[in-house]
Structure 1
Amino acid sequence: MAAFRGPRVWLWRWRRNPLRRRVDAVEGWAVLATWALIVLTGVLVGLASTHSVEQGLARERAEWRPVTALVVEDAPGTAGSEKVWAKVRWSAADGTRHTGQARVDSGSTAGTSATVWTDPQGRLVTEPATESEARLRAALVGALAGASAATVPYVGWRLLRGRLERRRMEEWDEAWERFDPMWGRNTR
């Protein structure tokens, strides 16, 4: 199909041309505005998401604390293999006693100590991400959020382009209706 189009002319939508319709100029400006919006939206949303995730993970590192807990019942498995879930008991910073499920060394017997992480309310949480893990996680979330947000202007452009294409075809139909009767005339 490209062989029938002829040579590519740069910025043709903005050049003076008797064949250029208003729809072509509108489409040219819409392409320019859409790409600007895609870049701007993607970058701003990506940076905001990255900053938000970094703040949340930094807050977790600052607030979550390791606590020594005691295994309440024997953990399944043999000693020295992987971590398994077991029931543990610990005391919160305010002195209240809590029990819950945590990952401990397999084969741990009742009364064995294990380190668990708790939030300021004394609830069990996972170990917080290190600074490098937090930066990577924030960068990945920011990139995904930015790319997702950038699709909104793109989808809007595709919808507008479909409408402009329909309008262009309507103008072609109108032009053919005006000039088609002339093709059948004899020019002798």
Structure 2
Amino acid sequence: MTFRGRRVWLWRWRRNPLRRRSDALEAWVVPVVWAVTVVGGMLTGWAATHSVERGLAEERAQWHPVVALLTQDAPERGAAGAQRVWAKVRWTGEDGSSHTGQARVAAGSPTGTAVTVWTDPGGSLVTQPATESQAQVRAAMVGLLAGAGAAAVPFLGGRILRERLERRRMAQWDEAWARFGPLWGRMTG
């Protein structure tokens, strides 16, 4: 049976003649780094999530579908037998101006086939906006990655600082041992 003794809470902050400055510094580094890591990661993740959700909601509100016509026959098949291929289309913008561009259409579609394309307020082609559920998933993933990335910075900084403190402590031990080690043998006898 081993004797463990009483557990001393907050021992790093207590007065002790053997406590070095590096011990006291480390006593503060650990909780500060953890607080900044957790709070910084959560706040960054939350901000990124809301920013992405807001941006995707704006896209859903501003982008709209338009009927476009193929200006040439679509290729019979795409690369590796793809069912959808790129083809030239023409559409009329909200202001009545004519626009052309390339859109993905069914392979083999003849000239004049009507296809639905999405445009922004300027009349430029854009991809179909994300649905609300897709936007939530994307925003959550971006928030998670941004939060983890932001949390990694103080966490790694704290690890580097603690490693340097440990090296410094070991150097101090080596120095003390070099000074008092030779005297150790004289005390026995």
Q: TM-score range by the shorter chain?
A: 0.7 to 0.9
Name the aligned partner's letter for residue 97 of structure 2: T
Shift, 1:158, TM fit: 2.1
CA–CA distance in 2 between the matches of 1:127 and 1:181?
Answer: 79
* TM-superposition CA deviations, 1:35-60 (whole Å, max 9, x none): 11100110010000001100100000
State the identity as a percent: 64
> Could you say which residue in structure 1 is the equivalent of 2:176?
175
> Could you say which residue in structure 1 is the equivalent of 2:33?
34
> Could you say which residue in structure 1 is the equivalent of 2:51?
52
User: What secondary structure is seen at the aligned counterpart in 2 of 1:121?
Assistant: coil
CA–CA distance in 2 between the matches of 1:151 and 1:186?
Answer: 50
Residues 155-170 of structure 1 aligned to structure 2 (within 5 Å): 155-170=156-171
Change in CA separation of 1:156 and 1:186 when aligned onto 2, cut-off 3 Å: closer
Report the RMSD for the aligned CA atoms in angstroms.
2.2
CA–CA distance in 1 between the matches of 2:37 and 2:95?
Answer: 50
Change in CA separation of 1:186 and 1:70 when aligned onto 2, cut-off 3 Å: closer
Shift, 1:182, TM fit: 1.4
Unaligned runs of 5+ in 1: 1-5
Residues 126-165 of structure 1 aligned to structure 2 (within 5 Å): 126-165=127-166
Name the aligned partner's letter for residue 60 of structure 1: E
CA–CA distance in 1 between the matches of 2:23 and 2:187?
Answer: 34
User: What secondary structure is seen at the aligned counterpart in 1 of 2:43?
Assistant: helix
Give the TM-score taking structure 1 as reference length. Answer: 0.87
Shift, 1:106, TM fit: 1.7
> Could you say which residue in structure 2 is the equivalent of 1:74?
73
* TM-superposition CA deviations, 1:62-112 (whole Å, max 9, x none): 00010000001111227xx82221110001111111111101122210011
> Could you say which residue in structure 2 is the equivalent of 1:87?
88
> Could you say which residue in structure 2 is the equivalent of 1:111?
112
User: What secondary structure is seen at the aligned counterpart in 2 of 1:175?
Assistant: helix
Shift, 1:18, TM fit: 5.3
Shift, 1:177, TM fit: 3.0
Higher mean C-alpha displacement, 173-182 vs 15-24: 15-24
Unaligned runs of 5+ in 2: none
Runs of 4+ in 1 over 2 A off after TM superposition: 9-22
User: What secondary structure is seen at the aligned counterpart in 2 of 1:109?
Assistant: coil
User: What secondary structure is seen at the aligned counterpart in 1 of 2:146?
Assistant: helix
Equivalenced residue count is 180
User: What secondary structure is seen at the aligned counterpart in 1 of 2:144?
Assistant: helix
* TM-superposition CA deviations, 1:132-175 (whole Å, max 9, x none): 00000000000000000111101211221122112202221232
CA–CA distance in 2 between the matches of 1:31 and 1:171?
Answer: 21
Give the TM-score taking structure 2 as reference length. Answer: 0.86
